Structure 1
Amino acid sequence: MTFEAYLNYFEDVLTNPSNYPTYSDPEYLNYAKLNWSRMNRWLKKFEVSEEARAFFSASTQKQTWILITEPWCGDAAHSVPQIHTLIKDNPNIVLDIQLRDSEPFLIENYLTNGGKSIPKLIIRNELGEDMAIWGPRPAALQQIFDEMKAEGKEFEDIKTYFQTWYNSDKGVELQQELVALLSVVEKN
């Protein structure tokens, strides 16, 4: 689905949660509500670096960026709007949002350490071949997550740390990683 269709889906989840079994669970619905406000904040305040702006606007290779996500995902609340903003003005890059928990279950082919972690970005060339894969979060934060998990930190503590990290990073790591990843891929 397009980014706009994803926003419409997300809004419908919040407006009619009883139509979506996952969001009948108040915990998931609360995550989605929080993520909606976080995502909208990034859509208004996210600043693309000059390097990333120049890089993504100059990309002439036709690509499809498949972004696997769900409204309940905290990491996605930050990364999805940032990724959309990075590429939205380049007509050579099409963003296709897929839901993790709905068919065709594309996530099954892109597991992280055996898990269905999202968001997951798959960048394909015009032949439909995978050129690059990113996610579920910036590498620096993934390393912190792995350490916190190994230490047995509580999920609430991890979520709080992540929110602080995302707010202070402001999408800098994500931009740098995607520019570096595609710089290598586009040379080949």
Structure 2
Amino acid sequence: MDLMQWYQKAMSSDAYLEYMKENKERTASILEKFSIPEEDRELLERIGEHSLKVIAITEDWCGDAMVNIPILLKLAEAANIEVKMILRDENLELMDQYLTNGTSRSIPIFIFIDEEGKERMVWGPRAPLVKKVVDDENAKLPPRDHEDFPLRKKEMIQRLGNLYSTDRTIWQEVYDSLKTSLVQSILM
């Protein structure tokens, strides 16, 4: 299946937000509170002139999706880019073409395509600073076979979820990473 067919198969962002059960409130809160810097509006309009579309591979249980999806939606709105969502777990054929480090089905993955369905850019699953935060947290965990690992991992995920949903520095890092990648891929 080509990317335009995946895009056509995907659900609208409104349908995805309605579908959400986990992280719905946190996603909605970030969507409400995050705003595009006024000084970037002209730049995003220039990106919008390239008639891009986005296929976002996601799942509502994912903490990274919880923070990245609303930032993407705000950027896309400012750049007049239509975003559609496709669920990872129901679409492994697509997901497996965008594995992180060639092995991991990490999400979200944002596939930017042009009007013909040609891939123009891929972003995800995390902004570099957010990846460092997660890597630092993972480094504090005991080995996977340690009896405390499941509890400590659960606590870490809760901490990261709280951080993602409230820390505007994280939001800005995600936005800056997306914007920079778009500028480098589309405008240069």
TM class, shorter-length: 0.7 to 0.9
| Residue 63 (structure 1) aligned to one of 52, 56, 71 | 52
2:164 & 2:63 partners in 1: Cα distance?
12
- State how 1:152-171 maps to structure 2 within 5 Å: 152=141, 154-155=152-153, 156-161=155-160, 163-164=162-163, 167-168=166-167, 169=169, 171=171
Moved over 3 A (4+): none
Q: Equivalences for 1:63-142 in 2 at 5 Å?
A: 63-91=52-80, 93-103=81-91, 105-113=93-101, 114-142=103-131
Q: Which runs of 5+ in 2 are unaligned?
A: 1-10, 143-151
State the Cα deviation string for residues 35-86 of structure 1 (Å, max 9, x = none). 1110111121112122433322232001111111111111111111111111
Letter in 2 for 1:178: L
Offset of 1:115 from its aligned partner? Answer: 0.9
Residue 174 (str. 1) matches residue 177 (str. 2) = no
Counterpart for residue 18 of structure 1: none
Q: Whole-Å Cα distance in 1 between the matches of residues 34 and 170 of structure 2?
A: 7
Equivalent residue number for residue 186 of structure 1: 186
Distance 1:161 1:170, change over 3 A: closer
Q: Report the RMSD for the aligned CA atoms in angstroms.
A: 2.1
Distance 1:78 1:95, change over 3 A: same
Change (3 A) 1:9 1:166: closer
2:160 and 2:66 map into 1 onto residues whose CA distance is 15
Q: 1:8 deviation in Å?
A: 2.5
Counterparts of 1:104 and 1:137, CA distance in 2: 20
Higher relative contact order (CA 8 A, sep 6+): 2
Q: Deviations over 1:116-157 (max 9, x none)?
A: 111111112223222221111211111232233244363222
Cα distance in 1 for partners of 2:131, 2:69 equals: 16
Letter in 2 for 1:179: K
CA shift at 1:95, angstroms?
Answer: 0.7
Q: Name the structure 2 match of 1:47.
A: 35
1:118 aligned counterpart, secondary structure: coil
User: Unpaired segments of 5 or more residues in structure 1?
Assistant: 15-31
| Number of residue pairs aligned between Structure 1 and Structure 2 | 165
Identity of aligned residues (%): 30
Q: Is the 8 A contact 2:27 2:70 kept in 1?
A: yes
